[in-house]
């Protein structure tokens, strides 16, 4: 085997390993950690326990439901995208703690900048988008139902 072929094989092997072992950037890990801390604070304000269990997503749904009701009453969007980001990162953390590692990117080719795609178990999820839709669109976008279908049922396939 010549050196050129050996180098090509090594490069191909490295790129395949990299694709299979993606990691979230340090910057996004820091943002994620900070947003989760805020989500926990909001959970305390609403007096709902957020303990990183699958069942805690039911409490996320209850919090987002209350926020949606307030949004419907006031039509004031201020700060609501931030809350969606906080709880979206919380959901990502719950998935990782209970169902295996994943990685996050900031942007997605189809969904655009700051869409924060979450790559887990062969799927691309958008928990921040779930939370945004729940806050602004209401109960038809229940995050607990999405979590059950896209996470709990997916892990058993």
Q: Please, are residues 86 and 35 in contact by the beta-carbon 8 Å criterion?
A: yes
Average pLDDT of 104-110?
Answer: 78
Q: Does domain 24-156 sit in CATH 1.20.120?
A: yes
| Domain ranges within the chain, ordered by starting residue | 24-156
Q: What is the dihedral of CA 30, 31, 37, 38, to 10 degrees?
A: 160
Q: How confident is the model at residue 112 (pLDDT cuts 50, 70, 90)?
A: low
Q: pLDDT tens for residues 11-56?
A: 444 333 333 446 778 888 899 999 999 999 999 999 999 999 999 9
**DSSP assignment letter at 112:** B
Average pLDDT of 89-96?
Answer: 97
- Please tell me which residue, 93 or 13, carries the higher pLDDT value: 93
Phi, psi of 124 (to 5 degrees): -110, 115
């Amino acid at each position: 085997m010549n050196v050129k072929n050996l180098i090509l094989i090594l490069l191909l092997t490295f790129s395949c390993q990299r694709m299979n072992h993606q990691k979230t950037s340090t910057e996004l890990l820091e943002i994620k950690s900070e947003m989760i801390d805020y989500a926990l604070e909001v959970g305390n304000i609403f007096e709902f326990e957020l303990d990183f269990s699958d069942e805690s997503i039911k409490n996320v749904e209850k919090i987002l439901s209350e926020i949606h009701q307030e949004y419907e009453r006031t039509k004031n969007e201020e700060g609501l995208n931030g809350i969606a980001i906080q709880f979206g990162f919380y959901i990502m953390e719950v998935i990782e703690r209970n169902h295996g590692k994943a990685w996050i990117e900031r942007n997605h080719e189809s969904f655009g900048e700051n869409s924060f795609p979450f790559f887990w178990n062969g799927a691309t999820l958008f928990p921040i988008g779930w939370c945004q839709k729940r806050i602004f669109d209401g109960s038809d976008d229940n995050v607990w139902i999405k979590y059950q279908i896209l996470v709990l049922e997916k892990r058993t396939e």
